[in-house]
């Protein structure tokens, strides 16, 4: 993304602002699965609990790793199954 676009987003939305590339997230999920066949993959939600990112990761077939009641609630909201 060009700096002028980033500057415009920051001006219109304020800072700090976090911008994620959903295609890149999907591509990385697929790459990991391809290179680790037969391995159950889990995302540590303590790294980032952004609901849109969790939706992508869930759709890619990943499980979720939680360590607190708050993280469990976040996982439930994104419809991760308890066994995953």
Structure confidence by residue, pLDDT tens digits, 28-78? 999 999 999 999 999 999 989 999 999 999 999 999 999 999 999 999 999
- Residue closest to 20 by CA, chosen among 46, 42, 48, 62: 48
What does pTM read for this prediction?
0.81
Q: How confident is the model at residue 6 (pLDDT cuts 50, 70, 90)?
A: confident
φ, ψ (nearest 5 deg) of residue 67: -130, 0
Question: 40 is written with which tokens?
Answer: 């159950």
> Which residue is listed with tokens 């303590």?
46
């Amino acid at each position: 993304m060009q700096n002028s676009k980033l500057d415009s987003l920051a001006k219109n939305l304020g800072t700090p602002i976090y911008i994620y590339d959903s295609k890149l997230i999907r591509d990385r999920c697929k790459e990991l699965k391809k290179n680790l066949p037969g391995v159950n993959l889990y995302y540590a939600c303590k790294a980032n609990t952004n609901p849109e990112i969790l939706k992508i990761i869930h759709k890619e077939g990943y499980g979720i790793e939680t360590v607190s009641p708050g993280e469990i609630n976040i996982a439930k909201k994104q419809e991760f199954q308890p066994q995953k």
